Structure 1
Amino acid sequence: MASRFTELTVDCHDPERLSAFWCEVLDFKVIDRRAGQVEIGSWEPTVEDIRAGQMPPTVVFIQVPEDKTAKNRLHLDVSPIDRSTEDEVSRLLGLGATRTDVGQGPDRNWVVLADPEGNEFCVVRTLAP
């Protein structure tokens, strides 16, 4: 048996604020909350479900004291499902994302944004019909 990808962990200053932002971006909900930690997901994971097959990972925001100091080596890509990429970028900017430049150049088919704590992520092709 192999391991399962169960969580993606994000270090941050304010887990409540960042989890609220990402819940809006991904249409996730808070599934666990502890001191200095918030977990969000699209489902309530159980050990049995995880063992049975690959399930969508959750995202865990953990409070840390240090600041982000460099470009992320790992980042999320999101694809809008019910609107154009441009319309989704506008929605995310309204939620608190900012445009950022990580050296991607002007002629790309994705848009690089940063969440409220500066973590880069990309908005890629739309999946809307």
Structure 2
Amino acid sequence: MALLIQNLSFDSTTPAETARFWADALGWQVMADGDPDEVVLEPAAGSPQAGMVPDILFLRVPGPKAVKNRLHLDLRPDDQAAEVARLEALGARRVDVGQGPGVTWVVMADPEGNEFCVLQALTDTERTGA
């Protein structure tokens, strides 16, 4: 039996707006099909991620997020501080989910409150495996 992950789904009271944040954050494209209750993001056509990673689907729900995510994204930037600043400019904010001091990642939330982490950049050794 073979399984592929088709998409990761996020509940949202504002799917179009939440999708736009993530499209800007990831450099992905919003796939418009006319349904305001389901908005899909895909990697940009021709990018190395196209066809290789799951889409992200934002589904309209009636109420706001109430508790910590059961699933969240960990993002690996080239420059953690620059990426955190860029994401804050897009509308993300830093949040405390109990991670404590001294961790190497930054916990953030998108405008809808979905938590995600911005990790440190890979070292040269981690990148090359040497």
Sort the TM-score into its range (normalised by shorter chain): 0.7 to 0.9
- Whether the 8 Å contact between 1:23 and 1:30 is mirrored in structure 2 is yes
CA-CA distance at 1:106 after TM superposition: 1.2
C-alpha contact (below 8 Å) 1:80/1:128 kept by paired residues: no
Matched residue, 2:39: 38
RMSD: 2.0
State how far apart, in whole Å, the 2-side matches of 1:2 and 1:43 are: 26
Correspondence for 1:66: 63
Structure 1 residues 43 and 27: CA distance shift in structure 2, 3 A: closer
Q: CA deviation at 1:96?
A: 0.1
Structure-2 separation of matches of 1:67 and 1:87: 29
- Alpha carbons of 1:15 and 1:69: their partners in 2 closer, same or farther (altered >3 Å)? same
Query: In structure 1, what is the Cα distance between the partners aligned to 2:64 and 2:111?
Result: 13
One-letter amino acid matched to 2:20: A
| Structure 1 residues without counterparts, runs of 5 or longer | 45-49
Q: Counterpart of 1:28?
A: 28
Deviation at 1:127, TM superposition (A): 4.5
- Identify unmatched segments of 5+ residues in structure 2: 46-50, 125-130
1:101 aligns with 2:92: no
Counterpart mapping for 1:48-87 below 5 A = 55-81=52-78, 84-87=79-82
Aligned to 1:47: none
Q: Distance in 1 between matches of 2:107 and 2:77?
A: 14
What is the percentage of aligned positions where both structures have the same residue? 44
CA shift, 1:25, in A, is 0.8
Give the TM-score of the pair, scaled to structure 2. 0.84
Which portions of structure 1, spanning 4 or more consecutive aligned residues, are displaced by more than 3 angstroms? none
Deviation string, structure 1 residues 8-30 (Cα, Å, up to 9, x no partner): 00000111110010001111001
Kept after mapping to 1: 8 A contact 2:8/2:54: yes
What TM-score does the superposition give when structure 1 sets the normalisation length? 0.84
